[in-house]
A and B are shown apart, each in its own frame.
Chain A
Amino acid sequence: MQAWRTAAEIAGAVGNGRTTALATIEATLARIQQRDGALNAFSAVTPERALARARAIDLALGQGKPTGPLAGVPFAVKNLIDVAGLTTLAGSKINRSRPPAEIDSPLITRLEAAGAVLVGALKMGEYAYDFTGENVHYGATCNPHDLAVMAGGSSSGSGAAVADGLVPLALGSDTNGSIRVPSSFCGLFGLKPTYGRLSRARSFPFVASLDHLGALARSTLDLALAYDAMQGYDACDPVCVDRPSEPTAPSLEQGINGMRVAVAGGYFKRGLSPAAQAAVGRIAAALGAVRELEIPEAGRARAAAYVITAAEAAALHLGRLRQRAVDFDPYVRDRLIAGAMLPAALVVRAQKFRRWYREQVLKLFASVDAVLAPATPFTAPRLGQQTVDLDGVELPLRPNIGIFTQPISFIGLPVVVVPVALQPLPIGVQIIVPPWREDAALRIAYRLEKDGVALAPRPPR
């Protein structure tokens, strides 16, 4: 069934003539039309563009021209990423008054250069300040595994579209966990690369110090192929590092012999649901990871990420808060206003702490190659849920969804989330590696997938 083909399988079938890019894209568009009413994942579908692109790929193949490793692979992007001809909504009502984007994000351009076919833009939490996928303007994006639970945010449409088999690949953004949370709640593989690795040019920002772009998929190989296609310097993003591309797909089969994997202890073991404990335990056991390692001051790192997020997001939106405060999602607006009131001295302290924390964490990687940690403390909560019970204590839900992702993106470390197919809902585990070692995290994920320990489960139909 085409819906569950991976990107690599689609590209293989298109490349060897078992199917065409046009047939693939037509089936994808039909599936989106059939399914998205229930999911609420897409904010725009781009059929004319997609069909034209598919025809061009088929024509090139017929002429014996190279078409790239993602030939005919449909993909979609979170709607904070510029798509030529579409207004970049970033999940907001306010951005509707902006003109349509004139040109695509460089990540779209690079994926299309590898043969992939953009089919649309995906819903998200307003201005990415969200972990739930609920949105007052556009409604909640539902989780394909249970339409009554959260897809996770803020890349909610990205998670739901990939988990439901609408597309094999989606792009998202991750400032504090917005790729890793929906990956965990929807049971997907997710990659948040090193800060500065993938260009953020022509994407709507959130927190410049912490913003990353990345991908969600149902297989490790698909993540690697997409990541490899998107790497490369871009002077249009001031934090994009001028570093040669380091392809990861060719090394996936190299295995993980000799890799030292530890489990994050202390902070990362507190407040875990039984599901999160089971998932980390299962991944650790499969990797023979018996060592427990303490990431120093992780709780304070999460606090600092929270503070920087509040202040930088408020700075970004200050003009809109003055002019159009009533047009924000109230939950986002109230946090932004509170963020604007943080004294600058405290925000700078948080940035200084970031430097210290980064140095301490990098020292840990002298004795270990990867660290495992839960991606979320629990599986997807029910839509509308406001509190969660952790260790017998009832806590507000929203600020606690990202407690295990925030201390990692805070210092830009690359992470691959692997899904563990627990019942009734999946949950993710983070594989955290040193800067620029996406290859190592992907190799570990690939091994776990090959061994059947990590699996993106198909939702019930």
Chain B
Amino acid sequence: MSEAKDWPLDSFIDAAAGALALPIEPEWRPAIKAHLQVNWRLAQEVAAFDLPDELEPAPVFES
């Protein structure tokens, strides 16, 4: 899977901010970009783990 650094993250931020109607001031962008890179790295780490199709995500904690 692609690393966040391999693709144009600034373009992605622009597109996502537009789609979500999120105002982003230029001075916020470096921090948002850094957080998005961390999010992406951690999300890919999870997604790389093979899971059965049948697994349901329901959080039930009966003993």
Interchain CB contact under 8 A, B57 and A341? no
Closest chain-A Cβ to B6's Cβ sits at a distance in Å of 16
Residue of chain A at shortest CB distance from B1: A346
Per the bound structure, the CA–CA distance linking A345 and B44 in Å amounts to: 11
Number of A residues contacting the other chain (C-beta, 8 Å)? 51
Give the chain A neighbours of B33 by CB distance below 8 A. Answer: 338
Q: Which B residues from 13 to 53 make CB contacts under 8 A with A?
A: 13, 16-17, 20-25, 28, 31-33, 35-36, 38-40, 42-47, 49, 51
Residue of chain B at shortest CB distance from A410: B59
Main secondary structure of the interface of A (DSSP, over half): helix
User: Which of A72-80, A93-101, A352-360 forms contacts with chain B?
Assistant: A352-360
CB contact between A350 and one of B22, B40, B43, B63 (< 8 Å): that residue: B43
Residue of chain B at shortest CB distance from A353: B46
CB contact between B36 and one of A304, A338, A345, A348 (< 8 Å): that residue: A338
Give the chain B neighbours of A352 by CB distance below 8 A. Answer: 51, 55-57
Q: A: which residues have CB within 8 A of B?
A: 194-196, 209, 239, 241, 297, 299-300, 303-304, 306-307, 310, 318, 321-322, 325-326, 330-331, 333-335, 337-343, 345-356, 358, 399, 411-412, 434-437
Interchain CB contact under 8 A, A338 and B39? yes
Interchain CB contact under 8 A, B44 and A346? yes
CB contact between B49 and one of A300, A310, A351 (< 8 Å): that residue: A300
Give the chain A neighbours of B55 by CB distance below 8 A. Answer: 352, 355-356
Residue of chain B at shortest CB distance from A346: B43
Closest chain-B Cβ to A200's Cβ sits at a distance in Å of 14
CB contact between A342 and one of B21, B24, B43, B58 (< 8 Å): that residue: B43
Nearest 4 Cβ contacts at the A-B interface: A338-B35, A351-B57, A303-B42, A346-B43
Give the chain A neighbours of B7 by CB distance below 8 A. Answer: none
Per the bound structure, the CA–CA distance linking A161 and B61 in Å amounts to: 32
Give the chain B neighbours of A339 by CB distance below 8 A. Answer: 35, 39
Question: In this assembly, does B62 line the interface, its C-beta being within 8 Å of a C-beta of chain A?
Answer: yes
Interchain CB contact under 8 A, B47 and A349? yes
Per the bound structure, the CA–CA distance linking A355 and B39 in Å amounts to: 20
Give the chain A neighbours of B13 by CB distance below 8 A. Answer: 341
Interchain CB contact under 8 A, A349 and B32? no
Residue of chain B at shortest CB distance from A319: B21
What would be 7 A-B contacts, judged by CB atoms less than 8 Å apart? A195-B59, A306-B38, A326-B25, A337-B22, A341-B20, A348-B57, A435-B62
Residue of chain B at shortest CB distance from A362: B63
Interface residues on B, range: 35 or more
Closest chain-B Cβ to A20's Cβ sits at a distance in Å of 42
Interchain CB contact under 8 A, A196 and B61? yes
Give the chain B neighbours of A322 by CB distance below 8 A. Answer: 20-23
Most B CB within 10 A of own CB, among A196, A303, A411: A303
CB contact between B46 and one of A195, A300, A326 (< 8 Å): that residue: A300
Interchain CB contact under 8 A, B22 and A321? yes
Per the bound structure, the CA–CA distance linking A335 and B16 in Å amounts to: 14
Per the bound structure, the CA–CA distance linking A300 and B48 in Å amounts to: 10
Give the chain A neighbours of B12 by CB distance below 8 A. Answer: 341
Per the bound structure, the CA–CA distance linking A26 and B58 in Å amounts to: 48
Most B CB within 10 A of own CB, among A195, A337, A346: A337
Give the chain B neighbours of A194 by CB distance below 8 A. Answer: 61
Are A307 and B46 CB-contacts (below 8 A) given A337-B24, A340-B20?
Answer: yes
Interchain CB contact under 8 A, A355 and B36? no
Given pairs A330-B31, A339-B35, A350-B47, 8 additional interface contacts (CB within 8 A): A304-B46, A341-B16, A341-B20, A341-B39, A346-B44, A352-B51, A352-B55, A353-B49
Interchain CB contact under 8 A, A347 and B43? yes
Residue of chain B at shortest CB distance from A311: B39
Most A CB within 10 A of own CB, among B31, B33, B39, B58: B39
Give the chain B neighbours of A337 by CB distance below 8 A. Answer: 17, 22, 24, 28, 32, 35
Per the bound structure, the CA–CA distance linking A399 and B28 in Å amounts to: 19
Give the chain A neighbours of B44 by CB distance below 8 A. Answer: 346
Per the bound structure, the CA–CA distance linking A124 and B33 in Å amounts to: 26
